[in-house]
Amino acid sequence: ASFTLLCFRSPLVTPLIFALLLQAPFSQPSTITKPNFVLLLADDLGIGDVGCFGNDTIRTPNIDGLAKEGVKLTQHIAAAPLCTPSRAAFLTGRYPLRSGMDAINDYRVIFWNAGSGGLPPNETTFAKILQQQGYSTGLIGKWHQGVNCESRNDHCHHPLKHGFDYFYGMPFTLISDCQPTETPEMDRAFRRKLWLSTQMIGLITFTAVLGRLTGLISVHWRTLACLAGFSLLFFISWFSSYGFVRYWNCIMMRNHGITEQPMVTDRTTSLILRESISFIERNKHKPFLLFLSFLHSHTPLLTTEKFLGRSRHGLYGDNVEEMDWMVGQVLNAVDKEGLKETTLVYFASDHGGWLERQEGERQLGGWNGIYKGGKAMGGWEGGIRVPGIFRWPGVLPAGTVIDEPTSLMDIYPTVVHLAGGEVPQDRVMDGRDLLPLLRGAVEHSEHEFLFHYCGMHLHAVRWHQKDTGAVWKAHYMTPIFSPPGAGACYDRGFCQCFGEGVTRHEPPLLFELSQDPSEAKPLSADTEPLFDMVIRKIGRAIEEHRRTLTPVPEQLSVSNVVWKPWLQPCCGTFPFCWCDKEDDN
């Protein structure tokens, strides 16, 4: 009987054994249709600020737990070193210059809620595709991709026009101007020049009037009236915007409606956390995408009282530890609803930490570990290498570390494919589906070359030589640090992308990142036998890349970033914009 049973089973057992042997390293994601997505994006967080990426003094147990239960990417690269262009690339899966969301001038981010530039309506975000696939899509926190185009309520750049069913948060970005007790941050140097010019014009006007009254100079009263009128108009022309930054930029919205103008910063953290958990609870019975775009750890480092003084790194460390706690609360909400096994969680930062952000002896910006440079520097690793973590229990192998080049732009095709959608075929896409790499089905990233821009200016290119494992990086321009040798642009507050603020390299500076991740020892033709071959290979890649670029309207041109009163979101009758609907509730 047993022999008969064995003979009966063998035709079934043999192919079953082969199937098991050939199966990919982890369970097939196709068994889970339309997983939920929780995308957690920190603001200005340095790769060296997180425990699982080497920090042993700032406590980040919840983020570290994600890495322990999932996959950690150690060469995860932002497409830009500043908020607006990096987030545009994240949302579209494309280099920001393809959508016009990078600049040739010094205005490299959205500067006003009342500017007319922003993420173009013809760009297709991953949220829009997931919305079409039946997902509930929500954005909680920071947007910084524009609001209006031609009128105060057209909302052409608003999250709800870009695939999100629900939005709660800041249409702009957190800045020190939002905190009345902090020193103003926005356009600080330019604002000082405007004040100085106003004082000079006022002094000239006062001196002329005094001279006319004392008879020392002969000038017509009509001329003096015109001069006084010009002084007043000049003052009004800039103070009407810069004098009310807190009211114009520091606002909170729910969908299209303004809930706080200006925002009440003491409760912002609790409201963002409450909205995030509420979104999960409301949508637990259907597939959802939650994009939690943290205001942490951008200045003015809004931190609740219970976290103040807890870290060993002052206010910045307190703020990072509070963000980690928020991550834990969101993950707890996922677990509480029984969604852990069906939810892909992703954590990253939009770019590197801001080295120059200091007030006196207080360091208010992040730390980028062993990597050179920081925020606003398009080429150096410290500005673009960020923490990257994925967790999906049962699908992604826990405790995995991957050192392959990956990009924030890769989130787009990864999420879209898992949701059952298709990436747009009518445009160049720069992101690559990460799932095969994350699951261990392939050894190498699909990225052979990554192009590192500072504004519209190509500063560096990375070449992953897959047959040898080498990661070459050629710098064509690097920022000039000030003071010299300081490692950042402390005299200016930001490093420049072009002009007198950069050094051009011919031949380019070349580093082999797998051997020299700190970019401390540039190679030359004398020290590296492959130098000429590598430079030629990268040069050909640049030529091919540039052939894929097409002219598009510049969203960050001066005319698009300036404050336009007719575009200003206002919860009252402009210019009397004030409300606190959260307090009313």
DSSP 219-242: --HHHHHHHHHHHHHHHHHHHHHH
DSSP lists the bridge partners of residue 579 as 261
The first and second tokens of residue 147, run together, are: 């609001």
**d(C-alpha 107, C-alpha 326), whole Å:** 32
The first and second tokens of residue 243, run together, are: 């004098």
Chain centre distance of CA 279: 22
The first and second tokens of residue 295, run together, are: 């205001």
Catalytic, out of 52, 76, 83, 296: 83
**d(C-alpha 430, C-alpha 505), whole Å:** 26
Place of tokens 């991740």: 517
**d(C-alpha 473, C-alpha 523), whole Å:** 10
Cα Dmax for the chain: 128
Q: Is the peptide bond before 508 cis (omega within 30 degrees of 0)?
A: no
369: three-class secondary structure by DSSP: coil
Place of tokens 């042997």: 21
Catalytic, out of 7, 52, 76, 144: 144
In three-state form (DSSP H/G/I as H, E/B as E, the rest C), the secondary structure along 170-190 is: ECCCCCHHHCCCCCCCCCHHH
Please say if 162 is a catalytic residue: no
CB count in 10 Å sphere of residue 234:
15
Please say if 144 is a catalytic residue: yes
Q: Are 397 and 439 in contact (CB under 8 A)?
A: yes
Q: Answer left, alpha or beta for residue 401, where phi above 0 means left and psi between -120 and 50 means alpha.
A: beta
Q: Are 70 and 57 in contact (CB under 8 A)?
A: no
Active site residues: 83, 144
